[in-house]
Chains A and B, each alone.
Chain A
Amino acid sequence: MSTSKLFSFTLGTLSAIGGFIDIGDLVADALVGARFGLRLAWVTVLAVVGIMCYAEMSGRIAAVTKRPAFDLARSRLGPRYGLVALVGAFLVTGLLVMAELSGIAFSFQLLTDISYLFWVPVAGLVVALFLWALPFEILERIYGIVGLSMLVFVVAVWQLHPDWGHLWHSATTPSPTPGETWPIYAFLGITLVGAQMTPYEMFFFSSGGVEHGWGPRSFAEMRTNVIVGFPLGGLLAIAIQAVALVVFYPAGIQVEHITQTVLPVVVALGKVGLAFAAVGIFAATFGATMETLFATGYDIAQYFGWSYGKLQPPAQAARFTAVTASLLFVSVALALTTLNPIQVTIVAVVFSAMLLPLAFLPVLLVANDHVVMGQYRNGKLSNAIGVVTLGVSCLISVAAPVLLVYTRGGSG
């Protein structure tokens, strides 16, 4: 393997980690860790396996058919199914753009102590300028590498000198902590699923593959990204849960503000830890803002058949450019209404979890289609994991709205 190829592998993997951790994870993991410790860590492990399976499938489909996942939802299941899936994806991912933007603003707040509301328009402007001026590949690499400073959460676990036996006991006890109820346990489990199995990652991954001109030869690169990137992202998620368990749980602190998620790192590593965490949060939410924004634009463009992406000059993908720019503008406006970003994030990830079957079904169908995929269609392993994941996601989409109301968004 040549050095440049190895380099490209590494970078792809890095951006997979960066793509995995976003505002949803930061919020959900800290929230879950503070209330249930590692007792929901098994959900993260299963969610990582599930999203790996579907990311691999959609990457493989993109490489074989030269078409991204959303394109196929319409051509296989018709314009009505496609429209319902599109509207669902638009609402969820649109809300996430606002939450991710607030995340960028919070990272500035952590460093400057000026309210995030001041930074929201600045963050919107920075995102717009970067997207306009730089090719996506470079942006992806920048936030992939800078995002590694999130690993400070893993270092913090060690520095807090936890009782490892206690952590292990928590991770192997799949039931609510004393004083908490099963419905809340289930609801926060669904929140984790929604935060970690995000369809936008899948759509983005496959659309990027089409833009990069993936073919069957790119399978090795694509799979390396999936097999290394997603589990590392999962490890990071569990680390955030672990530090929240060590610092917040004994003190009975509830996570109500995004800035609280970095407190355990400050306790463990002081100012340097805070700096790393702030930079890491900036990179993760910055990357996620671009990904959610583009994923929404891709979804719409692919449904209607517009030209999209960054390969041609913006004026030749004018409808795509107009849609993404408007969405960014509306998200800035929404964030400035002082809506609580934590609440918005929770609602967005729970709705995202509810809509998972809509996103998974066409991918699973196409990946099994003999006519389309030929020799590259799903093997037994992909199908087994894919069908189980789809089944569980159907159960979740029934249970999520009931639990959302019953537990009053996890607060009751």
Chain B
Amino acid sequence: MSPDHRSTRSLRLDLLDQQVLDGTERPVGRVDEIELEAGQDGTLAVTGFRLGGAALGRRVGGAVGHAMTGTCRRLADDEASPLLPIESLKDWSPRLTLHRALSELPEVAGLERWLGKHVVSRIPGGGDARV
């Protein structure tokens, strides 16, 4: 959904729920929550966004959402779905891309990292999880 030919961007269409790639174009998650801050004059500005099931669960709501958030909190080492500042986005179009590679973002996609390191890369032919 490239917003190239439009002068404004829509939070709903261009940010929320969109796929996020890391600096090496590897998919890391989707924008599961956005954080807005009200300025002095009452205008809202996007300060950051969150990736991961804990944030998604809050939006899904109900028992299912609660279970999702709870599971992700228990699996996480520190805070589940931490806030990423909006400045960590390098590109908006054609896809949301972060400046840094996943290997430099220890707070993101913990389960992916754990499964890659402890399970999949141990099988012959599984490849290297660190790249």
Contacts of A305 in B (CB 8 A): 19-20, 27-30, 51
Q: Are A315 and B128 in contact (CB under 8 A)?
A: yes
Q: Are A372 and B125 in contact (CB under 8 A)?
A: no
Whether A71 is near chain B, meaning CB under 8 Å from some CB there, is yes
Q: Are B60 and A83 in contact (CB under 8 A)?
A: yes
Contacts of B51 in A (CB 8 A): 305
Contacts of A75 in B (CB 8 A): 1, 13, 17-19, 30
Q: Bound state CA distance, A65 and B26, in angstroms? A: 17
Distance to closest chain B CB from A80 (angstroms): 6
Chain A interface bracket (under 10, 10 to 19, 20 to 34, 35 or more): 20 to 34
Q: Are A67 and B131 in contact (CB under 8 A)?
A: no
Whether B70 is near chain A, meaning CB under 8 Å from some CB there, is no
From known contacts A306-B27, A312-B26, A322-B115, infer whether A65 and B1 are also in contact, taking CB-CB under 8 Å.
Answer: yes
Q: Which residues of B (94-131) have their CB < 8 Å from a CB of A?
A: 94-95, 109, 111-117, 119-121, 123, 125-129, 131
Contacts of B95 in A (CB 8 A): 66
Q: Which of B27, B56, B64, B129 contacts A318 (CB 8 A)?
A: B129
Whether A133 is near chain B, meaning CB under 8 Å from some CB there, is yes
Q: Are B26 and A314 in contact (CB under 8 A)?
A: no
Q: Which of A78, A308, A312, A374 contacts B17 (CB 8 A)?
A: A78
From known contacts A313-B126, A314-B126, A371-B13, infer whether A319 and B29 are also in contact, taking CB-CB under 8 Å.
Answer: no
Chain B interface bracket (under 10, 10 to 19, 20 to 34, 35 or more): 35 or more
From known contacts A305-B20, A371-B13, infer whether A316 and B29 are also in contact, taking CB-CB under 8 Å.
Answer: no
Q: Chain B 15-57 against A: per-residue CB contact (8 Å), 1 yes, 0 no? A: 0011110000011111010000000000000000001010010
Contacts of A321 in B (CB 8 A): 115, 120, 126
Q: Are A322 and B125 in contact (CB under 8 A)?
A: no
A320 nearest CB neighbor, chain B only:
B112
Q: Which residues of B (34-88) have their CB < 8 Å from a CB of A?
A: 51, 53, 56, 59-61, 64
Q: Are B60 and A318 in contact (CB under 8 A)?
A: no
Whether A132 is near chain B, meaning CB under 8 Å from some CB there, is yes
Q: Are B127 and A80 in contact (CB under 8 A)?
A: no
Main SS of chain B's interface residues? mixed
From known contacts A78-B17, A80-B60, infer whether A319 and B125 are also in contact, taking CB-CB under 8 Å.
Answer: no
Q: Are B13 and A306 in contact (CB under 8 A)?
A: no
Whether A307 is near chain B, meaning CB under 8 Å from some CB there, is yes
Q: Chain A 111-138 against B: per-residue CB contact (8 Å), 1 yes, 0 no? A: 0000000000000000000001100000
Q: Are A306 and B29 in contact (CB under 8 A)?
A: yes
Contacts of B112 in A (CB 8 A): 306-307, 318-319
Contacts of B26 in A (CB 8 A): 307, 312, 316
Q: Are A315 and B126 in contact (CB under 8 A)?
A: yes
Q: Are A316 and B116 in contact (CB under 8 A)?
A: yes
Q: Chain A 277-312 against B: per-residue CB contact (8 Å), 1 yes, 0 no? A: 000000000000000000000000100111110001
Q: Which residues of A (65-110) have their CB < 8 Å from a CB of B?
A: 65-67, 71, 74-75, 78-80, 83
Q: Which of B20, B64, B111, B127 contacts A314 (CB 8 A)?
A: B127
Distance to closest chain A CB from B99 (angstroms): 18
Q: Are A314 and B60 in contact (CB under 8 A)?
A: no
Contacts of A80 in B (CB 8 A): 60-61
Q: Are A371 and B6 in contact (CB under 8 A)?
A: yes
Q: Are B28 and A313 in contact (CB under 8 A)?
A: no
Contacts of B127 in A (CB 8 A): 312-316
Q: Please provide the 3 A-B residue pairs with the shortest distance between their CB atoms, ordered closest to farther.
A: A313-B127, A305-B30, A318-B116
